[in-house]
Amino acid sequence: MVRATRSIRRAVVTGGAGFLGSHLCEHLLERGVEVVCLDNFLTGSPQNVVHLMEHPAFRLLRCDVTDYVHVPGPVDLVLHFASPASPIDYLRMPIETLKVGSLGTLHTLGLAHDKGARYVLASTSEVYGDPLEHPQTEEYWGNVNPVGPRGVYDEAKRFSEAMTTAYRTSKGTDTGIVRIFNTYGPRMRPDDGRAIPAFVGQALAGRPVTVAGDGSQTRSICYVDDTVRGILAMAASGHAGPVNIGNPDELSMLALAQWIIELTGSGSAVEFIDLPVDDPKVRRPDTTRAEELLDWRPLVPSEEGLRRTVAWFAEQRSMGTRAVG
């Protein structure tokens, strides 16, 4: 196991007003870390961190990391989590996705290098593409179509991994790479196009729950609190990675849809729609490296995580109804 190599007093979180970034900001503050949250609000929202605004150790700055990044004062940790992350977003913003994976990574690595800070890159299971190896280990190089519609996200992350590695090997920057698998939980956007918020929103509204293809394709879902623990374990270590952070609890999309219908108490039926181009058929992390090097493993059972997520979406829906009324 890799032990902590530095004391983290002040952290910069790019994409900190997004779904995952906002949870990172929250957990860092709970650990006594001062947080500078950078976001251009392309897919994130100040609403995700509004509950942190009065915290004396939290600062929110509107910043596009593809232009320029300047943070005065000392920085011990840079977490680069800025990027569109759902298909509906990166298909709508392909150039922005490629820029944040290239220029954004370059600029944030420069910040970390100048400050002598630990740097953690948020990479993704999408670097494995439609995998020919199952489950996916970190040694697997992937099966990605660079000119397919998903290629803008997959290749942006693959490039960012290469850039991060180059800074470590050529400049001695203290870098780490986490490959994140299908994280879910409160603060996901209902319209972000990912399966869980889509299924929950449809089920709560009593609409048909739309499953792509025949629903046999699989994903491995990890509750956000577990993902954040893994990321922060990586941040506290000196390990370069890449390290898979995800829950090996694999299930089919049809089973997930049926489970969510049951948890919401909905009368929704399942409706099958066309499968997206290059949609991966299977996805499951081998988490041996995370367990051995970071002493990390997911703790929240999928049923409990889904219950919490459904409850949050139901509350948001109820608040919206009351506001309209």
Provide the token pair at 237: 């270590």
- Measured between alpha carbons, how far is residue 109 from residues 171, 232, 236, 257, 324 in Å? 10, 18, 17, 39, 45
Reduced to 3 states (helix: H, G, I; strand: E, B; else coil), residue 143 is strand
Give me the residue label for tokens 């090997």: 169
153 annotated active-site: yes
Pairing of strands 183-184, 209-212: unpaired
The length of the chain is 325
Reduced to 3 states (helix: H, G, I; strand: E, B; else coil), residue 79 is strand
Closest Cα partner for 186 from 198, 199, 197? Answer: 197
Q: Which residues have C-beta within 8 Å of that of residue 11, sequence separation ≥ 6? A: 28, 33, 34, 35, 36, 75, 76, 77, 78, 79, 235
Pairing of strands 183-184, 77-80: unpaired
* Active-site hit among 90, 119, 128, 153: 153
- Measured between alpha carbons, how far is residue 166 from residues 154, 170, 255, 304 in Å? 19, 6, 41, 40
Provide the token pair at 82: 């800025």
Q: How far apart are CA 226 and CA 184, in angstroms?
A: 10
Q: Are 75 and 115 in contact (CB under 8 A)?
A: yes
DSSP 8-class letter at 122 = E
Q: How far apart are CA 86 and CA 90, in angstroms?
A: 6
Which residues are the active-site residues? 153
